[in-house]
Amino acid sequence: MTRFAWAVHQALPETQIAFISIKPCPKRWALVDRVRRANSSIAEFIAGDKRLHFVDVFPPTLGADGKPRPELFREDGLHLTAAGYKLWASAVRATLGEK
């Protein structure tokens, strides 16, 4: 991620880059603590640069039980459904201030 942002900003210094957080998913729920730590590290890195934006899709992907919402995932428990992508689009718009 840092190499990518660096390369983009070398060529286009004012370019805004949005990073979508790692999502929790049923298939990889056993790794949820690692996902949380990775997302936290990424958010901290991004906070230091006004050209970088962190789109946190983790919380809205979880249901009331604290686990991934089944309706957002395909049968494989990994890939998103149309509803999952709609949620992502809404989170991106909110983070970037679009309507």
3-48 per-position pLDDT tens digit: 999 999 999 999 999 999 999 999 999 999 999 999 999 999 999 8
Question: 85 vs 48, which has greater pLDDT?
Answer: 85
State how far the Cα of 86 lies from the Cα of 18, in Å rounded to an integer: 17
Q: Would you list the domain boundaries of the chain?
A: 2-96
- Band (73; pLDDT cuts 50, 70, 90): very high
Q: 13: buried, middle or exposed (CB in 10 Å: 19+, 13-18, 0-12)?
A: exposed
The answer, yes or no, to whether residue 99 has pLDDT greater than 50, is: no
Q: Which fold has domain 2-96?
A: Rossmann fold (3.40.50)
Residue 18's nearest CA partner among 44, 61, 56, 59 is 56
Q: Which pTM was predicted? A: 0.86
Is the pLDDT at 69 greater than 60, yes or no? yes
Q: Looking at residue 24, what DSSP letter applies?
A: P
